[in-house]
Structure 1
């Protein structure tokens, strides 16, 4: 017969796995008497777990939400997922805090709280998990997005991070072929997970979506890490998704919009918004091409005055001519 502590953990695990449990079924699953189940439930209540009794022929129990945080019980997958989430929260909030105004101190507080929680979780992890999560290094380059995240197996993220930590070549299926790469970093950007790596067959840096990677084992030989373009992973990834490696958009321009600065700031993900008079603002922003930049500015549905450069004015002319042709064809 298991010890009392082991039996309490087993009982708590069962209560977490479904909403309602008949007392007789719990007794059967734990291989104890119904009286023992009642005593164990009372012990868990003393520890702070809000377990409600359910009326019925056999009676039953339900684990509810309490006013205090009792001891928590996680399986291996939950512990790994929690560690990943806390790393993302800590790095993402720290990045946001670095660019936030003095009137917005909450991001820094969240980063510190996430870091403290990560330390607390690590201290109570069993050794077999602690070594795995210690190899996990995640950078949250971009702020959160409304787009649903692509599902990624936490075990895959751990395996990739372990290869990054050990500087071992990864072999994996990607698309229609097998890739060999020197893994550099795991990042999350705009709701997706990516591996930044040096592609050994293409002799260049590549960004691989983690949800499309199928690892092959074993890993390859160890390697000497290369210097990432841009100097750090955040600069590289930001530039990569903006069409370059400097972290800046390849096309940047400035306009005056006939809208209040507060309104434009609500819908400006990247860029600088400044007041330019009553119900007017100055917007400096960028995109991967001049037509794309002009289209992004046009979405504000307001009169626009282009400050510069001339390429942006030409892009507006190009779009106007294109839309005029579309209108003409539709009217014909």
Structure 2
């Protein structure tokens, strides 16, 4: 916050929190000298904002009692947090007011935002998918998230500087098909020029994003949320698990969601394919499913299931003495 106007607005925000603020306190918080604080106060007075000077040992500045400030002054990240909280809360069922009330609140926040920021947030809300009622993450930089959302809405290619999970850095041009919030993270999915395939990228790993000239078409019936969930389920991990289960896909999905397993129906059976870093969490879920199953691979999973079955049998035979 280096420009004087930014510090003047920061001073106004401090005064809005109430009470009397000493000149020394304001100088420290704004990282300026006391003379500059007094000059900023004069700027506010020029804008007809009633800043009162309080004399005495505990004097300083405060806003006039009862003065009502204009309703909202948000940074990009603050506006993003408020609107996403309203939208995600409504979709997750966490906001118990009527749909009309929630939509009215979103509209009111949207109306008082600067035009440019409002258009960018509109792009995100128009393109974002929420795969679960879990919280949408705000760890991704607001600027990157808003840029890729705009590009997805306007069908504009975007150039990304990306840092992969293994630490490798790359630059690529992506046709963004959509942005998705899943389990506390934002994901971008679209056609990747570097690989020539549809890829999924974690937004918090995008170092920078810049829209490019041109347009593209999204494939018919493309579902960004479904694509992200499938990509997560198919991500390469240490173990490649394959289990055939005598159940319906709906029954299997009750314990193995799309982000965990891909399913291949085979008559009365379903083959569940799972990529996993560890295997120890799978046997309890198979037990909870309570359906006949055949472990195709790996052998280590058979050992873990057998060990769980032995423990359950031992516990079932126990008597309280």
Shared fold, TM over 0.5: yes
Shift of 1:170: 1.1
Choose between structure 1 and 2 for higher RCO, CA contacts under 8 A separated by at least 6 residues: 2
Q: Distance in 1 between matches of 2:254 and 2:123?
A: 40
2:163 is the alignment partner of 1:138: no
Residues 312/61 of structure 1: CA separation in 2 closer, same or farther (3 Å cut)? farther
Query: 2:151, 2:176 within 8 Å by CA — same for their partners in 1?
Result: yes
Matches within 5 A, 1:112-127: 113-127=101-115
1:236 pairs, out of 220, 227, 232, with 227
- 2:194 counterpart of 1:201: yes
Q: Secondary structure at the match of 2:172?
A: strand
Q: Do the aligned partners of 1:20 and 1:61 also contact (CA within 8 Å) in 2?
A: yes
Paired position in structure 2 for 1:295: 280
1:186 is aligned to 2:182: no
Partner of 1:309: 293
Deviation for aligned residue 1:206: 0.7
8 Å contact from structure 1 (residues 93, 110) kept in 2: no
Q: What does 1:251-290 align with in structure 2 at a 5 Å threshold?
A: 284-286=254-256, 287-288=260-261, 289=273
The alignment yields a C-alpha RMSD, in angstroms, of: 4.9
Alignment partner of 1:166 is 2:154 = yes
CA gap 1:238/1:195 in 2 versus in 1, 3 angstroms: same
State the alpha-carbon separation in 2 of the partners of residues 216 and 93 from structure 1. 29
Q: For residues 251-270 of structure 1, give each alpha carbon's deviation from its aligned partner in whole angstroms, at most 9, with x where no partner exists.
A: 68589xxxxxxxxxxxxxxx
Scaled by the length of structure 2, the TM-score of the pair is 0.59
In structure 1, the residue matched to 2:267 is none
Alignment pair present for 1:219 and 2:185: no
Q: Which runs of 5+ in 1 are unaligned?
A: 1-7, 43-52, 98-105, 256-270, 274-282, 324-332
**In structure 1, distance between residues paired with 2:103 and 2:120:** 18
- The answer as to whether partners of 1:92 and 1:140 remain within 8 angstroms in 2 is no
Q: What is the CA-CA distance between 1:243 and the residue it aligns to? A: 3.0
Q: Secondary structure at the match of 1:151?
A: coil
Is 2:67 the partner of 1:82?
A: no
Q: How many residues align?
A: 256
